[in-house]
Amino acid sequence: MGRVEGKVAIVTGGALGIGKASCLLLAKEGAKVAVTDILDKEGQKVVKEIKNNGGMALFWHLDVSNEKEVQKVFADIHNKLGKIDVLVNNAGIAGVSKPTHEITEEEWDKVMAVNVKGVFFCTKHVIPFMKKTGDGSIINLSSIYGIVSSPDVPPYHASKGAVRIMTKTDAFLYAKDKIRVNSVHPGFIWTPMVENYAKSQGNVEEVRKMLDNLHPIGHIGEPDDIAYGIVYLASDESKFVTGSELVIDGGYTAR
């Protein structure tokens, strides 16, 4: 018996990185997984991998910053998979890394549209289905950057701080409906998002070493480190956990 046997889980941004690892692990632990992303080819590949491993998954194209699309896709997922138990609000972008006084309104809004409005739209449109099911678990990807500061990516920091407190508000609001809402706060994890950042800085190996050194545990994390936490929050093992922050960061925020 898997840890999330029989549950239906939606993962946004599920084609790559932490989202992909979460889709694979949720399926391995018995969930039916709705893999969603703006990257269709990569998303379909995740579904294929899950099916090859004996799991169950389907792919939907979904841009979380488009409310109409969120509403339509979630209705279709409910229709095809019968219920919705788990939502992993994972889709996110890093945005520009410039000092605050150089950031344009457009650059600010782009990050907020995906990282904040995306979480809002997906939560808004999953709640009625979870109320129907009679319980649910919503897992929001914040970051260490939603807890502590660093002198880079100001809109990203603001967006992840927003996700942290949105999580607690929704946890309070929907506790009576047995819908739990928690945030996950990864340290640096080696995913395409971070690899692309490293490439933009020039020497990938040098950047990776620099990131390794930021974590007291001595190295950057891998997507499965976060996926294990997500499976815990999705499962009934965490039935008394809501409004909490699960920090998985190799000790980054312990200093």
How far apart are alpha carbons 21 and 167 in whole angstroms?
Answer: 22
Output the smallest distance, CB 226 to ligand NAP, in A: 7
The CB-of-26 to ligand NAP minimum distance in angstroms stands at: 15
Residues that bind ligand NAP (CB under 6 A): 12-13, 15-19, 37-39, 62-65, 90-93, 114, 118, 141, 143, 186, 188-189, 191-194
Q: Please confirm, yes or no, whether 174 is among the known catalytic residues.
A: no
The kind and range of the H/E element at 51 are helix 40-52
| Two tokens, residue 59 | 């792919």
Q: How far is the CB of 222 from ligand NAP (least distance, A)?
A: 10
Closest CB to ligand NAP among residues 27, 211: 211
CA 149 – CA 125 distance, rounded (Å): 31
CB closer to ligand NAP out of 37 and 85 = 37
In this complex, which beta carbon is closest to ligand NAP, that of residue 17 or of residue 229?
Answer: 17
Nearer to ligand NAP, 7 or 20 (CB): 20
DSSP assigned state of 239 = T
Q: Of 159, 156, 124, 158, give the one whose Cα is nearest residue 138.
A: 124
Q: Which residues pair with 61 in a beta bridge?
A: 37
- Min separation Cβ 252 and ligand NAP, Å: 10
Instruction: Please enumerate in sequence order all residues whose Cβ is within 8 A of that of 134, keeping only pairs 6 or more positions apart, or say none.
Output: 178
> CA 28, CA 125: separation in Å to the nearest integer?
26
Separation of CA 143 from chain center: 10
Q: Which is nearer to ligand NAP, 206 or 236 (CB)?
A: 206
Query: What b/e sequence results for 37-54 when a residue is b if at least 16 CB atoms lie within 10 Å of its CB, and e otherwise?
Result: bbeeebbbbbbebbeeee
Alpha-carbon distances of 190 from 18, 19, 30, 111, rounded to whole Å: 9, 13, 26, 20
In the set 156, 174, 197, 252, the catalytic residue is 156
Determine the Cα–Cα distance for residues 125 and 169; give it in Å rounded to an integer: 16
CB of 14 to ligand NAP, least distance (A): 7
Q: Which residues are catalytic?
A: 156
